[in-house]
Amino acid sequence: MVIIADSGSTKTDWALVEKQVIVKRVKTQGLNPVVADTELMISEMRKVEVDSGVNISAIRFYGAGCKGQWSDKVRAALQTVFPQADEIEVHSDLLGSARAVCGHEPGIACILGTGSNSCLYDGREIVANVPPMGYIIGDEGSGAALGKLFINALYKGLLPVSMREDYLNWASLTYDELISRIYREPLANRFLASTSLYICKHLDVEPLRHLVKENFRSFFRFQLHSYSRRDLPVGVVGSIGFCYQDILREVAAEEGFTVGKICKEPLAGMVDFG
C-alpha cells in the first residue's frame, strides 16, 4: 500500500492507494511544518488509520512549507506514526501540483488559489521557480491579488457605483469593517481571496471581467514569461484557476501559451503519477 498526502496550511487530504486505486481517503488539519508543532502533526497523522499487518511500501507527502529542515520535521513525524513504512518522501506542494497536472511530461505547473506559484518541470522534478513573493508585492493571478484589484476598483471609480453597495451588503460589511479586515485583522490574504465568491457571480459586468483578465495577464507576464518556454503546456491547480478557467485559457492564448490540465485539487493527479 502507498500513502499519498496533499497538505496545505488549512487541511491535509490523504489517500491510501493499492495498485493505483484509492481504497480510503482521510481529511485532517493542515500540517504546514512552519506553523504546526510536532505533537500536532503526530496527533493528526494518527487519524490515518492503517490496518495492522498491511505493508506500507511508500509514503509520499506533498506539503506547503516542506523545504529543507521543515521537510525533515515532517519526515520524522511520519516515521514516528508509520515506523513500518519502507520509504518516506516529503516534497513541496508545488512539486506535487506539477506531478498532478503534468504527470511524467515536461511542462509549466502553476498553483492559482489564495496565493500563486509556478515552476518549470522536467517530468520528474522542478528545474526552475520564479519566487511568487507573497500577496503584498506579488502572487499575481491569485485570489488575494484579485481581491486587491477588486476592492481598489470599487472605490476608485473603475466599477459601477451600485456594485460597491451591493458587495458590502453581500459581505455584511461596512466600509470601516472592510478596512479593518484588510489592515487590522489576521489572514488578510484569505479575506481578499474570499471576494472571488462574489466576483465569479458578476462576470457579466465587463469592467469586472476585465479585472480578472488583467490579474491572469500579470501572472503570465511576471511569472511565466521568465521561463521562456511557450512550447510547453501550462498545467494549473487551485480554485482560482479552476473557477475562471475560460478566462485563464483566453489570456494564455493572448500571451502565447497553451493551457493543459486544470484541476481544483491535485490529489487524484498525484495518485495517477504514482
Summarised one tens digit per residue, pLDDT across range 241-266 is 999 999 999 999 999 999 999 999 99
Read off the amino acid at residue 179.
Answer: I
pTM: 0.89
Please give the Cα distance from 120 to 21 (Å, whole number): 28
- Angle separating helix axes 161-171 and 175-183, nearest 10 degrees: 70
| Alpha carbon of residue 117 to chain centroid | 8
pLDDT of residue 54: 87
Does the structure show a pLDDT above 80 at 176? yes
Please give the Cα distance from 250 to 151 (Å, whole number): 24
Does the structure show a pLDDT above 90 at 11? no
Does the structure show a pLDDT above 80 at 9? no
Please write the tens of the pLDDT for every residue from 187-230. Answer: 899 899 999 999 999 999 999 999 999 999 999 999 999 999 99
Does the structure show a pLDDT above 90 at 60? yes
Please give the Cα distance from 73 to 66 (Å, whole number): 9
Confidence category of residue 274, pLDDT binned at 50, 70, 90:
confident
Question: How large is the average pLDDT for residues 24-40?
Answer: 92
Indicate the Cα dihedral angle 86, 79, 272, 104, nearest 10°: -80
